[in-house]
Amino acid sequence: MLSHRLFLRHFSSLSIKHHFAGHSHHTLARPYSGPMTLKTIYIVRHGYRSDWLAEDEIVYPTGIECDPALAPHGVDQAKELAVYFNNNSNTTTTNTTIDGKESKCNSSNNQQNQPKPKPQLIFSSPFYRCVETAYPTAQALHIPIFLEKGLGEWYKPHRGVIPKPPTIKQLSKFFGDSLSDAWQWDTVVPSLDGEDETDIFHRCQLFWQKFLPKFEQQFPEVETIMLVSHAATKIALGMALLGYQSTRQYIKPEHGGDGETSRIDASTCSLDSYHYNKQGHKWNVNFVGNTDFLSSGDEMGWHFATSRFVAGSKEDIEARKNNGEV
C-alpha cells in the first residue's frame, strides 16, 4: 500500500480554485455526468458525539464552540467502520436501512453481492467529530483525509453561534500526517449566516456540480472515495446525487425505495454507497443507511421530514432523553 504522500505524487495533484458566489433558489441541473473514472462514493455520518452524553462542562479539542469530539462509543463506531472496510471478505449488504427500517435495496446493476471496493481517498467535513470518524479508516487503509467545507454541518439562520470550522493546522495536532493539504477545501462554502432546508439542499446540488469535475481532474485514476459528513448534509448529498429536487422526496423503486415511505436514514456512523452507471450517465444506490457493521446498530436516527429539531441540537437531545433514547 502506498503512503499517502507517494499516492498523491502518483496522481499528480493540480491546484484548482473554485469560488462560491452565494445561494439562489432556482432548480439546478443533475450532478455532473461527463466522462468519469470515479465508480463508487460512500457517504457516512460521524459517530456518536461526546456532548450528547456530557453531564459536566463540555471540552472542545479545537477550542471552537460547538465542535465536540466523539464520545468513547463514537470512537468505537469509527473503529468498527474501519474494520468493515479493512475486511477483505466483506461484500456489500443486500439490506438497506431507510427511516430506521430494513428493506431490500435492488439497484439497477445488481451491485449488492459484488465485492466491496475500498475507499482510496477520504474527504471530510472539517469539524472535529467527522475527521475523528474518518481517522481509523484512513489509518487502516493507509489513505489520506482531505478537508472539504462543502461537507460541513447544517446550521439554521438566527441560530446564535454558527462556528467556523477548524483549519488543517489546528486539526493536524490531533490527526497528524493522515491529513493532507493537497486539496482546495472551499469547493462550496456554507453560509455563515446559516441555511434553511432549501439552502442546504441547494448547497449539496452545487457541491456535486463543482466537486465531481474538480475531483476527476485532480485524481483521474481514483475509483472509490468516502465522504464523512453530518446527518442533514449526508441526506441532502444523497438526494442531490440521485437527482431528486428536495430532501423530503421519497426514494423511488429504482433506488431501492417504495416511492411512498422510504427515505435515507442518518443514524450515527450509518453508511451509504452509490455507484456510477456509465451507460445511463447517472448515480444509483448500492445501499443506504447501513449499520450492520456496528455492534449497537441504528442510533440517533434523523430526517428532515420526521424530526422536530435539528440533528444533535440541545433541543433534539433533550427530546430524546425524555423519550428514553439517550
Q: pLDDT for 26-82, tens place per residue?
A: 445 566 656 679 999 999 999 999 988 766 668 799 999 889 999 999 999 999 999
Give tens-digit pLDDT for 299-313.
Answer: 988 888 886 655 666
216 membership: H or E segment, kind and range: helix 197-218
Q: Do residues 283 and 71 touch, judged by C-beta distance below 8 A?
A: no
pTM of the model: 0.83
Do residues 130 and 46 make contact, with C-beta atoms less than 8 angstroms apart?
Answer: yes
Percent of the chain topping pLDDT 70: 73
Q: What are phi and psi of 208, to 5 degrees?
A: -65, -40
Is residue 122's pLDDT more than 90? yes
Domains along the sequence of the chain with CATH: 38-322 (3.40.50.1240)
Instruction: Spell out the residues 6+ positions from residue 323 whose beta carbon is closer than 8 angstroms to its own.
Output: none
Output the pLDDT for position 111.
43
**Digit-coded pLDDT (tens) for 227-252:** 999 999 999 999 999 999 999 999 99
Query: What average pLDDT does range 279-295 have in this prediction?
Result: 93
